[in-house]
Structure 1
């Protein structure tokens, strides 16, 4: 037996539902001879009569009844398959691999994913916690689709980096420290024990540059590459840290117990979105990128840089 033709199967099911060839032809927007041809070809393929014609319309034979019953399920699955393909093609479904840092993951990404779930519920975002350098490398190797990276980034062939958002850097201080100034200068902070970002990170270089402009090179008591662990050490009184203020509205509970002061001179951490050129993005990745760009307007100044 040759494969079933779904159009012919849909014609048979419609006749069974409406009772006549003429009604099926109108419902399917087919010429009456085409409806007759569909049924004739189905019967020829199956070697069985599917319909019995009478003065009051048609009724299914036993083989016809079996085929209609199974055909409804086949047509339902075919329609669902086509809809899924359309959703993927339009960016309403699919999987996107996103690389980001721990700070972004904790304070920003959950809000982004919430908005994404409302906009495109069937797009699955696989999040990988990485530093900016590793994120860029994996984007280059095509094992990631999108990355949230610190700026500036060196140019990477085949990748675009666009500004996303800017966050003020703040001094995070132990809650029990006294005589804390209204704003923190490099000289004041350099005399205190410090918890710093790992030397391999752009955040470390940004903070070191802030001290360096004042002619200072303080040594940290410990260097980490995990923002939340740094805040925990600050809360325990181990030292102070210079970190970005990444939340949007309420101060998170883990931060509210710390003292925070603006820096003098001010310092800003800039983030960008790294990805392949838009023309090469699949629809799901392009949709996640759109949601990220709509999430908050980028306010990156001239010093942010781009790839």
Structure 2
């Protein structure tokens, strides 16, 4: 069976509202024979008369009334769908899927999302907590639109990665400890450590930083949640190495002291997205991120 045609349903609803083929043709900007053809096609499709003509007035039949009621809903849904698509094309609305680590989500995204909400309230950003390799994989498969990833990243076909920001890695130690003014690899290696999980880019950076000084410490505990790590440092459980996002960082717990490293270490981040045309909503999010 052929599917119902929305144009023909719109013609039926207009005739039912106006009670006239001629008026419907005028309102719909159609030739009268075209209006008659639309109704004839619908009646042939349904297999029953849809309109009753009496004394110059046209009214729906019983079957026609039921179809008109349903047609109104279908036409309203179609109009709403087209409006939504147009709003997305214009950048007034849309859904953007973004992947990032817990640290980036907690400390870098909130300010960007606040600015986005002020200027583009119709854009909905859905955030997924992912490692950088997971983010790159999902960008390549088309299930993400934007990723905040650690640099460098191996080239992935169809994905563009551009440098975004570079934050210093600092030592965070309990304030109660007797600590130097600058943390050296040797001093930190002798302390109980709370570090990021192995396999993360930050873990790799920190291992290389220690190894260049001939140190290979083992972490007392490994976590991926930087705020949880800082809570353990505040409790005196150990020291850690974490990026310091100066512009967006919350005030430091007084039980924690932040020390610069004797040999500076930086955590570089990039913004990744798929090659090709970028939808307007996605471009709005990218523009806000580049301003951070």
The Cα of 1:261 is off from its aligned counterpart by 3.4
* 2:172 aligned counterpart, secondary structure: strand
Other-structure match for 2:55: 54
Separation in structure 1 between the aligned mates of residue 2 and residue 228 of structure 2, nearest angstrom: 65
Alignment of 1:197-236 (within 5 A): 197-211=196-210, 215=213, 217=215, 219-222=217-220, 224-226=222-224, 227-236=226-235
* Count of residues in Structure 1 that have an aligned counterpart in Structure 2: 288
Structure 2: state its 5+ residue gaps.
Answer: none
The Cα of 1:10 is off from its aligned counterpart by 0.8
* 1:278 aligned counterpart, secondary structure: coil
Other-structure match for 1:304: none
Structure 1: state its 5+ residue gaps.
Answer: 299-307
Separation in structure 2 between the aligned mates of residue 135 and residue 239 of structure 1, nearest angstrom: 30
Alignment of 1:262-277 (within 5 A): 262-277=260-275
Other-structure match for 1:294: 288
The Cα of 1:29 is off from its aligned counterpart by 1.8
CA contact (8 A) 1:103 1:246 kept: no
Separation in structure 2 between the aligned mates of residue 256 and residue 73 of structure 1, nearest angstrom: 60
Cα RMSD (Å): 3.8
Other-structure match for 2:167: 167
| Cα 1:297–1:269 shift into 2, 3 Å | farther
CA contact (8 A) 1:104 1:246 kept: no
Separation in structure 1 between the aligned mates of residue 235 and residue 9 of structure 2, nearest angstrom: 71
Other-structure match for 1:127: 128
* 1:238 aligned counterpart, secondary structure: coil
1:191-216 CA distance string (max 9 Å, x none)? 54433334433223333444566x45
Other-structure match for 2:194: 195
CA contact (8 A) 1:170 1:262 kept: yes
1:228-275 CA distance string (max 9 Å, x none)? 33223211212222211247446167x565222344554321111334
Separation in structure 2 between the aligned mates of residue 271 and residue 110 of structure 1, nearest angstrom: 16
Separation in structure 1 between the aligned mates of residue 158 and residue 64 of structure 2, nearest angstrom: 57
2:252 corresponds to 1:258: no
* 2:152 aligned counterpart, secondary structure: coil
Other-structure match for 2:244: 245
Separation in structure 2 between the aligned mates of residue 141 and residue 17 of structure 1, nearest angstrom: 48
Separation in structure 1 between the aligned mates of residue 50 and residue 143 of structure 2, nearest angstrom: 55
Other-structure match for 1:106: 106
The Cα of 1:124 is off from its aligned counterpart by 6.4
CA contact (8 A) 1:108 1:247 kept: no
Under a length normalisation based on structure 2, what TM-score does the superposition of the two structures give?
0.76
| Cα 1:184–1:293 shift into 2, 3 Å | farther
| Cα 1:147–1:225 shift into 2, 3 Å | farther
The Cα of 1:189 is off from its aligned counterpart by 4.3
Separation in structure 2 between the aligned mates of residue 109 and residue 210 of structure 1, nearest angstrom: 27
